[in-house]
Amino acid sequence: MTTRRDFVRKSLLTASGLAMGLPFLNAHTQSDLKITKIRHYRDPDYTKPAFAQMRDIVVVETNGGITGIGEGGSKEMIQNVAEMLIGEDPFRIEHLWQKVNRGYFYPSGRERLHAMGALDMALWDIKGKALNVPVYELLGGLTRDYIPCYSTGFPGQGTVKETAKACMEAGFYAFRTDGGVGSRDVFDVHKWLNNYRRHCEQIREGVGEDGQWCIDLHTRFDTAEAVTVCNMIEPLRPLFVEDLVRSENPGIYETLRAKVNVPIAVGEQFGDRWDINELVEDHLIDFSRVTLPNTGGITEFMKIAAICETHYVGLIPHFTGPISTAALVHALGASSGFVLTEILGNAATKTDYLNDDYLNFKNGKLYPTERPGLGVEFNPANVELINEITKGSEYNHPGFRRADGSFTNW
């Protein structure tokens, strides 16, 4: 009886003389795996559609019985992207990313990138499982022992000072605040300035002289207001100030950089590298907040990580969903430079549709595991199936190839 591991091993060439006979692809050899079906499930735990950051689940099936899991994308966008993957070799991850991203005349928008990110995650999961290694091994191996985390919404301890102190004692790298604004229909920054200052002073006292804290301005300010707030809290030494102004015009950070001295973090509303590369290359930000699946997946995230390393910009991805967080452990674990990621509350999110240990979180830190692929096991029993894609696109994508077979625009 042929097992799925045997199927893959037969489809790969074993390099002569390699210790332990581990399977590797020859430069001119594709795997025999083909994508046969993509299932799309509704995340039952996600209740914030206003964020337009889908947390649905995709499962990519292959003819070898190996499946991969990813997260992100709307029904329409998953359908659009998935149709371009049916029948393809899941091992050719970069090739498929280029095909999907460039297969239409217009470049992919951010909503489509979310869908691409979900499916890209699943392809990395398949490859890791097929080769029986964690995804971080495919990305070059671990560069660190764990991923430090900061907490958003750490459970209240009575006062913000005590809450910040408890966050530090729980082992988190930093405590995050939105400035104590809360949920309100009317926001007048000038009426809130004194509250902002007192709130942040209490946090600094709570985390202590050596502790770290950060603040998210949440794109709610105009330029002059953002400058006022940043200069007001500068003496309190925030680790970073996030999203000072609206994100539609990244070039505004050239103006802001000249007016504020606090470290700047931007990117949670961005997508691929072309959304953020100029901010990084022109040293207009100190930390990139781009995340999964928003960038278009692990494939694109690692390219952004390389740009950031080149320009000494840290990686602080925004939280999205549980599967994306698991994927970030692999991506950040194989990245160089300063990294930090976001945890809601004081523990990893628990969900009925994933294995209990899909994340190895303790003492404010995320630790990589040795499970193959992303290390995520999916239980669809209580999750709504909303779509299945088994056929390729009826539209004949005319993508041109260079003479060497690589993809280019048409």
pLDDT at 20: 35
Domain assignment present for 123: yes
**Position with higher pLDDT, 384 vs 50:** 384
**Position with higher pLDDT, 269 vs 11:** 269
pLDDT at 183: 57
Check which CATH number belongs to the domain holding 19 and give it: 3.30.390.10
Is the domain of 274 the same as that of 336? yes
Task: List, for residues 335-346, the tens digit of each pLDDT value.
Answer: 999 999 999 999
pLDDT at 194: 81
pLDDT at 271: 94
Lowest model confidence (mean pLDDT) among 154-168, 173-187, 234-248, 288-302: 173-187
Is the domain of 68 the same as that of 107? yes
Is the domain of 165 the same as that of 237? yes
Residues marked active site are found at 218, 318
Is the domain of 225 the same as that of 312? yes
Q: Looking at this protein, which amino acid is placed at residue 59? A: V
pLDDT at 105: 80
- Per-residue pLDDT, averaged over 22-38, amounts to 70
Is the domain of 319 the same as that of 388? no
Domain assignment present for 24: yes
Task: List, for residues 306-321, the tens digit of each pLDDT value.
Answer: 999 999 999 999 998 9
pLDDT at 338: 97
Task: List, for residues 230-247, the tens digit of each pLDDT value.
Answer: 999 999 999 999 999 999
Task: List, for residues 363-384, the tens digit of each pLDDT value.
Answer: 999 999 999 999 999 999 989 9
Domain assignment present for 284: yes
Domain assignment present for 374: no
Closest CA to 242 of 222, 261, 259, 262: 262
Structural domains counted in the chain: 2
Average pLDDT for the chain: 90
Is the domain of 314 the same as that of 389? no
Domain that holds residue 187: 138-367
Is the domain of 93 the same as that of 147? no
Is the domain of 85 the same as that of 234? no
Domain assignment present for 355: yes
Task: List, for residues 204-216, the tens digit of each pLDDT value.
Answer: 999 999 999 999 9
Domain assignment present for 188: yes
**Position with higher pLDDT, 184 vs 203:** 203
pTM: 0.91
Domain assignment present for 373: no
Lowest model confidence (mean pLDDT) among 16-30, 106-120, 393-407: 16-30
pLDDT at 252 over 80: yes
Is the domain of 203 the same as that of 349? yes
Is the domain of 126 the same as that of 197? no
Contact 269, 219 (CB under 8 A): yes
Domain assignment present for 372: no
Q: How confident is the model at residue 36 (pLDDT cuts 50, 70, 90)?
A: very high
Is the domain of 389 the same as that of 324? no
Is the domain of 266 the same as that of 399? no
